Amino acid sequence: MSPLIKDASVQSVAQAANLADIVSQYTTLRKRGNTYLGLCPFHQEKTPSFSVSVDKGLYYCFGCGEGGDVFQFLRKMENLSFTEAVESLAQRYGVGLEYEEGSGPDEMRRNRDQRLFALLEKAAGFYHRYLWQSSEGDRAREYLQKRGLERSVCDQYQVGLAPSGWRGLMGRARIQGFSERELEAAGLIIVRDGRAYDRFRSRLMFPLVDHRGRVVGFGGRSLGDEMPKYVNSPEGPVYQKSRLLYGLHQARKAIAVADEILVVEGYTDVLSSTQSGVGNVVASMGTALTEQQLVLMTRFTSNITFMFDADRAGAEAAMRSGGLARRQGLRPMVVMLPAGSDPADVVVEGPPGALRGLVDAKISLLKYEVTRVLDRPDISTAEGRIAAFETVRRILRASVSPKEREEEIRAIADRLQLTPENVGLLLREGRGGAAGAWSRGKTKTAGSVAGSASSGYVSRVTAPVHAVERRFLVALTKFSDAAGDLLPGLTDEHFTDPIHREVFQSLHASQQRGESVAEAVARLATGGGETGRMSAGLLIEGENEVYTRALLQHDYLRLQEQHVDRVVTELRARLEEEDVDEETERKLYRLELLQHEVRQMLADVEEG
């Protein structure tokens, strides 16, 4: 359960944060009038349609419909919870936070963790500089060069080198005011028999960064045959290995674009893949993927692809991890690498684009499992085929996708010398539960849900009737003093788009409470959801000079005209299809007179 931050603290962070500065970390902005304009970071586009209003603290994309305040922007870009977004911005802008009683971390623990994060960040910088600036770094730089890793990708992941001395890091940290106790809690030193020394020495250092961009630990690799090959930070106050994925913070943009996470085993696999142009890659830091790591991945996408080493351990890890993914309702995929290779080998030894080609040719976990069974040499015998048949039966029962099972029938039939009809018997048992799990598990990520909802809204407002509704709401936010005259003359029936209707209802209720339209829309804009995104768009679009009081009056009359037209059309249809009473006929007559009057007023306004 996330800690509850007091509303006053949230407001202080919102006031301190500069939305344009935050957005500029993800896309280039250019000032235009009172707003900033740039390419949308949430969808691919060539013409800028993403607007930021610093004065209002809101953003909106006129292409995909994404919008909101600084907290919503950071949540979507970094896949953070609301609390994490507030804490991240508070740390960036130096704002102290107060938590509801019994909810947040106590002050002593919070201060301790902040000190440890600062220490680990400084340690990462120290190791990184030592790699590229010291003479001792020659050997490590040669190793990186042999692995085909360039300086740019090493800088991106802040790869470093630990000095060979026993107290190289410890001495520097003590000078900067960090205690021996803090160094030990951060996992940077070992204290034994009253003596302290650096945990990492003469090792290539890979900072372990959480999804919020904080260094929480390190992985150290030997540069030769020294054992152990890898030394990792111990579990501690800020580092829990089972909840971390190496490279997730750096890969988040590529994951959003591809709507897929590629999972590899090691650090250099991540670096090599990224350097080759496959950036949506993370490492499980070993072959034992945990359920916590998988849950973390599902915050970013529902598409998980495993690209483990092409050896027995990698194959077993892919099947074990795939089983975990299935239990989360996901459809796991597998990249088939050349025998005995890992992703880094493919990048270094293969032709340009080789890794991308293998990723594009990925197969379902079910096909991978079935293929491994059918490739056994013993299926040339009757006994081997019977054993393979039973193994495949169990695999098919575990699969959650009926479509995938059907796709494998012919391959199974060919290899086991059976007819497809006979192999179909494999699917008769255990189908219902798995199929149900598949249909329930086909969930979308927060980003994709937002994208599809936004696209639906954008497509609706292209209809002329919806465009009038939107223009009226935009102009009303700009000239909110006119609300008292206009809103009482409208009802829910004047708005056919459900989002527009919801905004109108909120504005009408707020106006009756004495709240201004601008204040009401601003409150809606920070509330999230499709209504919140659209409200942010109303406020930002209202800064366009095309919106005038005359346009507001014009679209008010157009709303009246559209509403009367709909009612008149409905009554005329009733007259043609059934006998109606005289009161209905009189109502139609009065509405037709009103229709004529409204059209005349519209003509006068348009002429003016």
Q: What is the pLDDT of residues 268-322, one digit of tens each?
A: 999 999 999 999 999 987 657 888 888 888 888 889 999 999 998 899 999 999 9
Domain that holds residue 470: 460-607
Please say if the pLDDT value at position 427 is more than 70: no
Select from 93, 116, 147 the last residue of a domain: 93
pLDDT per residue as tens digits for the range 86-100:
988 998 888 888 888
d(CA 582, CA 453): 45
Query: What pLDDT is stored for residue 431 in this prediction?
Result: 40
Quickly list DSSP for 374-410.
Answer: HT-GGGGSHHHHHHHHHHHHHHHHH---HHHHHHHHH
Residue 307: inside a domain:
yes
Where residue 423 falls among pLDDT bands split at 50, 70, 90? low
Q: Is residue 447 part of a domain?
A: no
Are residues 395 and 347 both part of a single domain?
A: no
Show the DSSP H helices in 276-353 as ranges.
Answer: 291-297, 312-327, 343-349
Residue 32's SS3 state is strand
Does residue 21 lie within any of the structural domains?
yes
Are residues 468 and 596 both part of a single domain? yes
Two structure tokens written together for 62: 């006129």
- Tens of pLDDT, residue by residue over 331-342, are 899 999 999 999
**CATH number for the domain harbouring residue 280:** 3.40.1360.10
Does residue 452 lie within any of the structural domains?
Answer: no
Summarised one tens digit per residue, pLDDT across range 359-368 is 999 999 988 9
Q: Please give the Cα distance from 336 to 228 (Å, whole number).
A: 29
Quick one: 508 and 401 in the same domain? no
> Among 300, 305, 275, which Cα is nearest to 289's?
305
Same domain assignment for residues 231 and 260 = no
**pTM, rounded to two decimals:** 0.65
pLDDT score for 429 = 42
Q: Is 448 within the bounds of a domain?
A: no
Query: For 385-414, what is each residue's pLDDT tens digit?
Result: 778 878 887 887 776 667 777 777 777 877
